[in-house]
């Protein structure tokens, strides 16, 4: 997975394999313990990306506010 930002939009790209795995396993119980762990790890990674996007957005907002106050 990779998080990128273009202007005001964050984009998360993931491999087709990761996407298929999530679609197949999030709607039902994963069969093996390995699949369960992979689902948990993937969800943790998505949460981390969400937190990074939010923090970066807050940083940009703060930088914009600082620049506006200097004018």
What is the per-residue pLDDT for 42?
80
Domain boundaries, the chain: 2-70
What is the per-residue pLDDT for 1?
67
Interval 6-32: pLDDT, tens: 676 777 777 778 777 777 776 666 677
35-39 mean pLDDT: 79
Gap between the Cα atoms of 6 and 21, Å rounded: 27
Q: What tokens appear for 16 in the block?
A: 């087709």
User: With 90 as the cut, is the pLDDT of residue 62 above it?
Assistant: yes
What is the per-residue pLDDT for 29?
67
Listed residue (64, 45, 46) closest to 56, CA to CA: 64
């Amino acid at each position: 997975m990779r998080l990128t930002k273009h202007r005001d939009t964050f984009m998360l790209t993931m491999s087709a394999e990761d996407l298929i795995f999530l679609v197949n396993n999030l709607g039902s119980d994963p069969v093996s313990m390995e699949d369960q762990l992979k689902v948990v790890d993937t969800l943790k990674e998505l949460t981390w990306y969400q937190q990074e996007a939010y923090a970066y957005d807050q940083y940009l907002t703060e930088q914009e506010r600082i620049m506006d106050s200097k004018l």
